[in-house]
Amino acid sequence: MTPKLWKRLAALGIAGLAAVLLATAAIAAVLSSTVLTDGSNVHLRVTRTVADGFDSGWHSHPGLVIVQVQEGSLQISQGSCTPKTINVGETYVEVPFVPARAVATGRAAWTTTFLVRYEDPLLSPTTSPCP
Give domain limits for the chain: 1-33, 42-118
Residue 70 confidence (pLDDT) above 60: yes
Architecture of domain 42-118: Sandwich (2.60)
- Integer Cα distance of 41 and 53 in angstroms: 34
Distance of CA 91 to the CA centre of its chain: 10
* Each residue's pLDDT tens digit, 6-21: 566 555 566 555 554 4
Closest by CA position to 75, among listed 107, 99, 101: 101
Instruction: Calculate ∠ Cα 48-50-53, nearest 5°.
Output: 140
* Each residue's pLDDT tens digit, 76-113: 999 899 999 999 999 999 999 999 999 999 999 999 99
Residue 35 confidence (pLDDT) above 50: yes
Q: Could you tell me which residues come within 8 angstroms of residue 121 by beta carbon, excluding any fewer than 6 positions away?
A: 62
